[in-house]
Structure 1
Amino acid sequence: MPQTYKSSMQRPTCTMLRVRSPSDAHVIFHAVSLNLLPIVARRLDTEERRAISSGCVFVWEERGSGSSESAGIGIERWTDSIRWGPSRVKDEFLYYHEKEPEAADLDLVAELDGPLSAHHYSRGLYRENLIKQTYSVFVETPRGRRKWHLIAYFTQESLEYLHNIDDIPGLANLQVPSGKYKSARSGKGPRPSFGYDPLPGNPYYTPYPPRHQPTTYFDLSAIDHNRRPSPRSSNATTRTLSSPGSLRLSPSLSPSPRSLQFLVPSRPSLKNAAGALAPLAYLENIPPPRRHPLDEEALMSFTGLRV
C-alpha cells in the first residue's frame, strides 16, 4: 500500500529523483537557495524516517558555532535509523550500503506487535537494500558562510524509473552561478576510490519485478513523460500515470532477494585488443566469483557431514 503522510510531516527536498553528478547536486542546492525547493529544517522524526524510500533527496544545513546555533537554525547531525556499511567515495560523493539485518534484530521484530514491527519487518525483508549518497558544499548566505549537505537514497533496481534533473523543466533550465557552491571535500585533498563503482553489475542476479507503487510527495505533472527509458536494460520498469500530477512508480517495499550485498565488481576483459589471451599469472590471481548466499549455505551443510 502507498505510504500515507501527515500534513505536519517534513517532506524531502525532492522525491523520485536520481542525483547523477555534482552538477545535479548544485542545481538542487541552487533551487533550495531560491526557495524553489524546501530545505529540511530539523532532524527527521520517527514517522519521517520510516517514510524514507528510493528517490528521496534531502538538503539540510549543518548547525555550527555562531548565530545559527543560538537561533536554532540547522541540524547538528543527520540520522535516519538505518544501519550503514563503511563509506566509499566516487566523483566527490560518498556512498553507503545498507547493512543486512542481524538475526537478533529479526527475532526482536518477530516478538513485537503493531505497525512499528510490521514496518521494520517489511523494510528488512521485502525490499532491496538502500544505498545512501551524500555530498556537501560551502555556500555564502545572508547569514554568512554555511555548510549544506545533500543526502540521496536509491536502490539499484530503482535507477530504471527514477527521474533526473533534465526531466523537470524548472530545474533543467536553472542556471547555477559559477563557484557559488564549493565542494567541502576540495580542501581535504583527493581520497582514493580504488575504482569503486557504487552499482557494480551482477551477472548472477536478476531482480524481481516490483509489486507496489507508492505515490510521490510532490506534483511532477511538469515532467516530460515522453522521455525514453534507459537503454541499459530491455526489461526496464515502465512508468504509469494514474492522474495528472500523481506519478506512481515502483516502491521501497518491492520484494527482492538479499543477494545484492554480494555484488561482484566488473573485471577487465580476458582478451586484449589483439585478441591474445591474458598472461597466466593474471589468470591465476583472479579471485573466484562469490557464490550466492544460499549456495554457500548449502555447501557448508555438506561440509558438516564429513567425518
Structure 2
Amino acid sequence: MLYPELFKQLEAVRWNMDRDIPWDQFDASRLSEEQAQTIKMNAITEWAALPATEMFLRDNRDDSDFSAFMSVWFFEEQKHSLVLMEYLRRFRPDLVPTEEELHEVRFEFDPAPALETLMLHFCGEIRLNHWYRRAAEWHTEPVIKAIYETLARDEARHGGAYLRYMKRAIGRFGDEAKAAFAKVGVLMASARRTAQALHPTNLHVNAKLFPRDTVQSRLPNPEWLERWLDQQIKFDAVWETKVVERILHNMSLLMERSFQSVQELNRFRKELSARLAAAGRAEGGAPQPA
C-alpha cells in the first residue's frame, strides 16, 4: 500500500494556517480590487475538490489504498479553499463566498475510466502548480503572495503522489495503463492548440447538465479564468511550455522512454493502441479504439 507512506510524507510538511501564513504582514495598499475578486473565484474553484473526491471514491471502489489517500488529498485541497476564504474574511469580508456559491460547484461528475481520470488530475496538479506560482508573482500584497506560494508547493506534492499511483497502475495493468496515461497526456500537453484552459475544472463532466457542467461554468463569473490567465497573471507561451515540459518529463520517467515533444508521446500512444488491438484480436476480442 502507498497510503501509509504518502500520509507520513505529506504530514511531515503540512503547513498550519495560523502559524505559517504571515497574516501580520498584510498591506491593504497593495491589494487591488481585481486581485481581490480573483481570490474569491479561486476559493470557489478549490471547493470543487468536494465533488472530485466523490467521483474518485465512486470510480475507485475496488481500490481501497487510493481511496484512503483521498482522505489526505481532500483535506489539503479543501484547506486551500479555506485559507483563501480566511484571507477574504480578514481583509475583504464583502467578498467571502456564500454557502450557496460554494454549493453551486458541487454537482455529480459522470463516471469515467479510473486510469484516465488519474492521469487527468496528475496533469491538473502540474498545471495548477504553475498557475499558482505565476499568481504569486502577479499579486502585490505580501500575504496573498505567500498563500499562493504555499498552495503551489502542495499541488506539486499532490502531483508526486498521483505519479506513485500511476507507476503502481503500470505494474498492475501494463500497456492498458500506459495507453490511458499517454492518451490523456497528449490531450493535456496540447493546450496551445485549444481555445480553453486544459484543467479538470474547465472540462465538461456531466452530459445532462451541459453546458453548465464544468466547475468554471458554475462560478459567479464563469469567464474569470480566461481573463485571469491571459490578462492578469499572463500565463503565456513561456509558462505553458514549462507545463508541457513537466508532463513530458514525467511521462518519460513513467514509461522509461524519452519524449521530447507531444508528437513523440502521441506516436507512442498509437504504438500502444496498435499493440492492444493486436492482443485483442489474438484473444478473439474486439479491437481496441485508437
TM over 0.5: no
Structure whose residues are more often strand by fraction: 1
TM superposition score category, shorter chain reference? under 0.3
* Bigger radius of gyration: 1
Structure 2-normalised TM-score?
0.26
